[in-house]
Amino acid sequence: MLMAGAPLPDTRAILPRPAASDDRSWPALTGQKAIDRFKIYCSYMTIQGEAPDQGRPNHSCSGGRTVVPSSDYLKSLVDIEAGRISPEIFIDEDIYRLELDRVFGRNWLFLAHDSMIPKPGDFFSTYMGGDPVVVARQPDGSVRAFLNACRHRGMRVCRAESGNTKSFFCTYHGWAYDTAGNLINVPNLSDAYKDRLSLKDNGLIPVARIESYKGLIFGNFDATAPSLEEHLGDLKYYIDGWVDQVDGGIEVLPGVVRWTINANWKLAAEQFAGDTYHAPTSHASSLLSFGPPFEGKDGAHVAFREGHGESFLFKRHTRFSEDPLSLYNDAKLEAAKARVGDRAEFVANFTAFPAFSGLPGSSNIRVWHPKGPNKFEIWSFTVVDKNAPPEAKKAMQVSASFTEGPAGVVETDDGENWGLIGAILEQGHQARKMRWNYQMGDYPATGHEEFPGAYRDSFFGEAGHRAFYRRWLEFMTSEEWPVLTQEERDAFNKPGA
């Protein structure tokens, strides 16, 4: 804000400069023009002078200051009530940096499954937002996670994808840590530090919260965040319908498939939150091989106030062969229905806000790891029934690769769509001025006595998308975790609302 009596700003210091060849046409603005230009700039940016180590992204400004898109600017880009969203949120560097802090720095992020680290000393290397982390099973059976960055110079202390170890070793200067992240050895400690270095104070930076649900392990850097189960909310009911179908639950098969898409991570996350509308067009050729075309009445979609979304077909497609997977699914169906009801037949996809998605019908879960405003990595895991026979597990793995692998008949369509959108936004100018349409399914929730959440009785809809971006905006414009009340959840789910 400009205070009375304050000097007018020299806009040359705060606005992008033109090319050098045009430098002579870059006069300082004074008077009312300077004030008007300054107001325009401030509607986009808020300058905060926080220290870099306080959890805010340090970029775009010199002197340790942070340039953060203002709440008013972000709200102008995301209009949930109108169902209109600016593509700027998928390409802007400053918005992306703020996401790393306020979305990925405060949310529950998927780390691993219990079956991936079953024994003490087992570990798995992954990411939380842009930060590398290591997840490790402790001698007492608990799980801890910490930044994969040495406290001396920030070098990785674990350069393996997974394995079993008693310690982690920095190959730069030799500092070593145990599997709980405690610093246990420093080369030449007495000579180099004269015994003045505290091992206790130089352990690896821990992930503040580790919690699991049905074997799915999540981490959160925010110690003040509500519990994982509170965050998952009614989505737990649908996860239960997947993992509780048989005794023993699920397990993740060894190996992670990774590939990169030049697009924004939210494009993938939103699609799995309920975008089945794209399937008859994008996947037309591949869907013909799975069975008859489906219609909106063949399924439903559900939105959740926590930002999650799910859609599902009510029943599996007709099968055409006696393959091991079909035979296994047929054999377990009645027992599964006795355990979880109609959910046993769902062909579903979901996103748990912000970046964990699943395709239970394709034996697949995945994480969308951001690598920049216009790049993300897909990490895909094959999930099977733990007690299934080996031939059924192998069939599930083949099915997941055939449909949802990087060269899968379905996945290649999605990757092409996301990549082409990313190219348009990265190279274009007019395209970034658009307002994308998110109005599908913008009618009151119809509700269902059995299925919780804001249930709508059509397979096609974008209620899950709007819930996703409503929650995204709340995190992006809040200094603290935006707590939801039960009254807010009930009002969101109420039929007719």
Active site residues: 173, 275, 278, 283, 414
Enter the tokens of residue 16: 């992008």
- What number of other Cβ atoms are within 10 A of residue 219's Cβ? 26
Angle at 444 between CA 443 and CA 449, to 5 degrees: 135
Between strands 176-178 and 122-128, the pairing is unpaired
Q: Which residues contact 202 (CB under 8 A, 6 or more apart)?
A: 151, 152, 183
Contact present, 310 and 235 (Cβ < 8 Å): yes
How many CA within 13 A on the CB side of residue 193? 11
DSSP secondary structure string for all residues of 310-353: EEEESSPPPP-S--HHHHHHHHHHHHHHHHHGGGGG-EEEEEET
Rounded Cα distance, 197 and 140, in Å: 29
Q: Which residues of 338-359 are buried (b: 16+ CB within 10 A; e: fewer)?
A: eebeebbbbbbbbbbbbbbbbb
State the Cα–Cα distance between residues 179 and 154, nearest whole angstrom: 17
| CA torsion through residues 442, 443, 446, 447, sign | positive
| Residue 94, helix vs strand vs coil | helix
Token pair belonging to 421: 């959108």
User: CB within 8 A of 87, min separation 6: which ones?
Assistant: 425, 431, 432, 434, 436
Long-range contact set of residues 431-434: C-beta below 8 Å, sequence gap at least 24: 431/87, 432/86, 432/87, 432/88, 432/91, 434/86, 434/87
